[in-house]
A = this chain, B = another copy of it.
């Protein structure tokens, strides 16, 4: 029998709560041994909710005062590099939320630190662990739709991201914070790296929601070209209010595959024939990817227990960051941009 893995959760906000709750409720072999957050109120709230007694303002303290095998990093993007490198240098395995980092140099530092210290690095691309997406991947790999030619992916989310994520000065905007998942998933299912990206963006709700950052956009369409010659399209709408929506379509030279749907439950209700039929929708990403979040964190625990590398790692995170950087340049320079220009 394997030894349970002790985890230090870094970040006590929405994503920290999600992973803490998943570990506590569903993962017998993953124990949240410590919680880190600079904000005392969040630290206490989340610590109490999930019975995590060891709470620290800083990772340094946690490293100093308690024992654990791994960290799960859920803090804002601009903190990822320092936290990952510090954890790796202390021999802790790293589960790192997307986007991996602010730029490729940071990505390289994280990858290097993990390699040098012999610790695992898993990126938080949970779609790869969703039952629908992972079955799609398997069936595409088996050749069912032939050679992938064209892929479409969308992420539309209901909530306005936090202020730092809306501003190109402190983040890479929605392309990074919302659509990193699509950049990873299209590359994964196409089985090919993107080579060129072109962005069109729009800002419909910024003013009414109090966002006045330069270059802010809440609607985005990215066109992609892949090494294989294939094509891609990604759409991002955030905030979208109608629910959380993440779907893909991929066409190969033999056929099409449609992945994901908006409805949350197999429940159809008809009351009023003027309204028609009603079906519950995914309200939040936590609902849409509940099983994926269980599976990805279980995968991280097992990869440590069995000393086998995680299925999604630093290179995958780095490619998504490269796509973000090229896409943002396309937006600023109003032209298609090669990924080689930023890599």
Q: Give me the interface of A with B, judged by CB distance under 8 Å.
A: 1, 24-28, 51, 131-132, 135-136, 139, 144-145, 147, 149-150, 152, 156, 158, 196, 198, 200-205, 219-221, 223-225, 229-233, 235, 237, 240-245, 251, 253-281, 283, 291, 294, 298, 334-336
Partner of A270, one of B131, B231, B262: B262
The listed residue with most B CB atoms (<10 A of its CB), out of A231, A242, A257, A335, is A242
Q: List 12 A-B contacts (CB under 8 A).
A: A135-B267, A147-B204, A152-B152, A156-B251, A196-B200, A198-B336, A221-B223, A221-B233, A242-B271, A262-B270, A263-B276, A278-B278
Chain B: CB-nearest residue to A31: B28
Q: Are B256 and A156 in contact (CB under 8 A)?
A: yes
CB-CB nearest in chain B for A258: B268
Of the residues B240, B256, B260, B336, contact of A256 by C-beta under 8 Å: B240
Q: Report B-chain residues with C-beta under 8 Å of the C-beta of A265.
A: 131-132, 135
Q: Is the CB of A232 within 8 A of B240?
A: no
Supposing A200-B224, A258-B267, A269-B256 touch, asked if A240 and B231 sit within 8 A by C-beta, the answer is no
Residue from B150, B243, B291 in contact with A273 in the complex, judged by beta carbons closer than 8 Å:
B243
B276 touches A256 (CB 8 A): no
Chain B residues with Cβ below 8 Å from A145 are 269, 271
Task: Find the B residue at minimum CB distance from A260.
Answer: B266
Also in contact, A268 and B257, with CB within 8 A (given A202-B149, A219-B150, A231-B221): yes
The one of B204, B251, B279, B291 that contacts A276, using a Cβ cutoff of 8 Å? B279
Contact status A255-B268, CB under 8 Å:
no
> Contacts A198-B200, A231-B221, A281-B277; is A269 near B257 (CB within 8 Å)?
yes
Residue of A144, A145, A336 with highest tally of chain B CB at under 10 A: A336
In the complex, residue of chain B having the shortest beta-carbon distance to the beta carbon of A281: B276
With a cutoff of 8 Å between Cβ atoms, the chain B residues found around residue A258 in the complex are 267-269
Chain B positions within 8 Å of A204 at CB level: 147, 149, 229, 253
A221-B150 in contact given A256-B240, A266-B259, A271-B242 (Cβ < 8 Å): yes
